[in-house]
Amino acid sequence: MENIRTMECLEHIRYRPSMYIGQIGNGYSPGDAIYTMCNEILMNSIDEHLAGFGQSIILDVQEDMVKVRDFGRGIPFDKIFRSATDPNTGGRYDSVEYKKTVGLNGVGLKVTNALSTHCIITSFQSGEYLSLTFFKGELISSDKGLTSEDDGLCVEFVPDNEILSEYTFRMDILRDIVYDYCCLHKGLKITLNGVEYVSQNGLLDKLDKILHHPYRYAPIHICDERFEIAFTHIDAPEEQIISYVNDHHTGNGGTHHEAFCKALAYVLSKYFNKKITQEHCSKGLVAVIKVSIQWPSFANCSKDTLASSHMWYDADDNHGPTIYETFKHTLLKTMTDNKELFANLEGIWE
């Protein structure tokens, strides 16, 4: 065998971008590549927030340039280059946070770098900074010095329109992305082009935003370290459920969607001592669901349908409680401990 060349990682990303980042699009759909790139960088910053480092993120989008600045720990200077170019680095493989990701598992920054004409990565640590500038994934310059900037990371990138086609960033889509992240993480502040977004009530704020009809009872909001749910019923023939897994929107639902509907029907039947079917329970149900699962499994490459049955797995393939049992137990406890929350539900299915 002669003249066989091994393709480098970043070169392969540029050659087959859809393998890494999904649909290319032109910026008119939330699933298009330019928003996936934004999400990957934002999720890295949110991981820092969840780890207890940094309460705010700044996102600036001007024409074709994106800039994300967080105030976490930054990337150690000796790891920045590899974090941006080497597929064998990145990701906290032994941490609970890493096991609960649905992003590109440690290669999000590398993919963003590879698919950008220009990408500037600047880390601020203890009064010093190191900045690396890349052109189409290749390092072209670096700069290091002293700074008065707060610790954290700044990533600036321009998606390459030769690979991603002509695109346009839509501010309505970016606003929805930022708003959702804030609702998924109560108290996190994200500033988009100078406008601050923050949610004080988590998914309850998201539920309020999507309610377009008078509800039949005050929305019920349940928070647990493994999941968060906000729901109510309206006078409508169908259900409307928006679901997330580890911050990722599952547009086609999946096992967490099914588990919630099944658990709610069971708990209501038990609480009111009457048979309430899932069909009756789902009629007019409006809900927002977020679950936090280790090693989530999806039914397809687009990750829009959750296939996991259990909340967690370990290295020996032991597994925790099912999603259904988790929902059922917490709903039962909530109804028992807070009967006033559910007082208005009585008679709703007469």
Alpha carbons 192 and 215: distance in angstroms, whole number: 32
- Contact criterion met (CB below 8 Å) for 110 and 84: yes
Mapped to the 3 state alphabet, what secondary structure does 284-302 carry? CEEEEEEECCCCCCECCCC
- What confidence score (pLDDT) does residue 88 get? 55
Q: What does the pLDDT profile of the chain (350 residues) look like in tens digits?
A: 344 444 467 888 888 888 888 889 899 999 899 999 999 999 899 989 988 899 999 999 999 999 999 999 999 999 999 888 876 555 544 455 555 554 444 468 999 999 999 999 999 999 999 999 999 999 999 999 999 999 999 999 999 999 988 899 999 999 999 999 999 999 999 999 999 999 999 999 999 999 988 888 889 999 988 899 999 999 888 899 999 998 888 888 899 999 999 999 999 888 888 888 898 888 899 999 999 988 888 887 667 889 889 988 776 777 889 999 999 999 988 888 877 777 667 666 66
CB 247 within 8 A of CB 102: yes
**CA pair distance 21, 115, nearest whole angstrom:** 10
User: Which pTM value belongs to this model?
Assistant: 0.89
Q: Is 115 left (phi over 0), alpha (psi -120 to 50) or beta?
A: alpha
Whole-number Å distance between alpha carbons of 278 and 269 = 10
Cα-Cα-Cα-Cα torsion 121, 74, 314, 267, nearest 10 degrees, comes to -100
Domains in the chain: ranges and CATH: 9-198 (3.30.565.10), 203-345 (3.30.230.10)
- Cα–Cα distances (Å) from 103 to 46, 83, 91, in that order, read 12, 15, 10
Angle at 322 between CA 317 and CA 328, to 5 degrees: 160
Task: Indicate the SS3 state at residue 27.
Answer: coil
The structure tokens listed for 310 are 């259990």
Q: What are phi and psi of 57, to 5 degrees?
A: -135, 140
H helices present in the chain, as ranges = 9-15, 18-21, 33-50, 80-85, 96-99, 108-114, 161-164, 171-184, 203-210, 255-272, 278-282, 323-337
8 A C-beta contact, residue 173 and residue 35: yes
Of the candidates 121, 127, 178, the one whose C-alpha atom is nearest the C-alpha of residue 148 is: 127
Whole-angstrom distance, CA of residue 159 vs CA of residue 14: 11
Q: Is 307 left (phi over 0), alpha (psi -120 to 50) or beta?
A: alpha
Going by C-beta distance under 8 Å and a sequence separation of 6 or more, which residues neighbour residue 56? 70, 71, 188, 189, 190, 191
Written as one string, the DSSP assignment of 97-113 is HHHT--SSTT-HHHHHH
Q: In whole angstroms, what is the distance from residue 149 CA to residue 58 CA?
A: 14
What are φ and ψ of residue 345, in 5° steps? -80, -20
Given a contact cutoff of 8 angstroms between Cβ atoms, the answer to whether 197 and 254 are in contact is no
Side chain identity, residue 6: T
Say whether 155 sits in a helix, a strand or coil.
Answer: strand
